[in-house]
Amino acid sequence: MSRNLALALPLAGVVLTAPLALSGAAAPPWRAAPLSFEVTTTADAHDAHPGDGRCADREGRCTLRAATEEAVAQPPGTAVSIAVPAGTYRLTLGSLDFNGGTVSVAGAGAHATVIEATGKFRVVEVGSAATATVSGVTITRGRPGTAATAAARSTRATC
């Protein structure tokens, strides 16, 4: 059963009308708007408030780690892209964990953008609830493990 109704909204003396459809069928699933972050520093620092939609550490900088933490804290269905400029991003606080959502990380090219660990942990971990695409970067100095690569462990990732 479907009915069309008019929705009237008074706005500063003007009335706007728009059709409003009602249906007994289930509404399509809600999709969050895509989100984009651009990393602004090679420092390694946590996001100050994961889930607020802003990539910012306590000093207001968008670090690679802060962008990753903000990306995975978004509501289901949110696609997040992270632009990583040329530079060497030394991870000192542990691996970058993609444990939820759909995230795309794009560097400035494999020779220009390097994500480097200390050799004590993997550089990137991608969990089963996440889909991650990483391109245009070199990933190096990750801890060797039983996975196919010493730098990353993934259940759903494209490199």
Is 33 in a helix, a strand, or coil? Answer: coil
Residue 63 has what pLDDT? 98
Report, as an integer, the average pLDDT of 117-144.
Answer: 92
Of 48-52, 100-104, 114-118, 152-156, minimum mean pLDDT range = 152-156
Higher pLDDT: 16 or 122? It is 122
Among 37, 78, 79, smallest CA distance to 54 is for 37
CB count in 10 Å sphere of residue 9: 9
Bridge partners of residue 5, in order along the sequence: 20
CA 52, 139, 120: angle at the middle one, nearest 5? 85
Bridge partners of residue 98, in order along the sequence: 126
CA dihedral 101, 113, 111, 141 (to 10 degrees): -80
What digits encode the pLDDT tens for the residues 31-90? 566 899 999 999 999 999 999 999 999 999 999 999 999 999 999 889 999 999 999 999
Residue 77 has what pLDDT? 87
Q: Is the confidence at residue 19, as pLDDT, over 90?
A: no
Biggest alpha carbon distance in the chain?
68
Mean pLDDT of the chain: 79
CB-based burial label for 103 (10 Å; 0-12, 13-18, 19+):
buried
Residue 51 has what pLDDT? 95
Question: Cα–Cα distance between 64 and 82 in angstroms, integer?
Answer: 8
Sign of CA dihedral 142, 86, 33, 93: positive
pTM, two decimal places: 0.74
Q: Is the confidence at residue 25, as pLDDT, over 60?
A: no
Residue 94 has what pLDDT? 95
Higher pLDDT: 15 or 61? It is 61
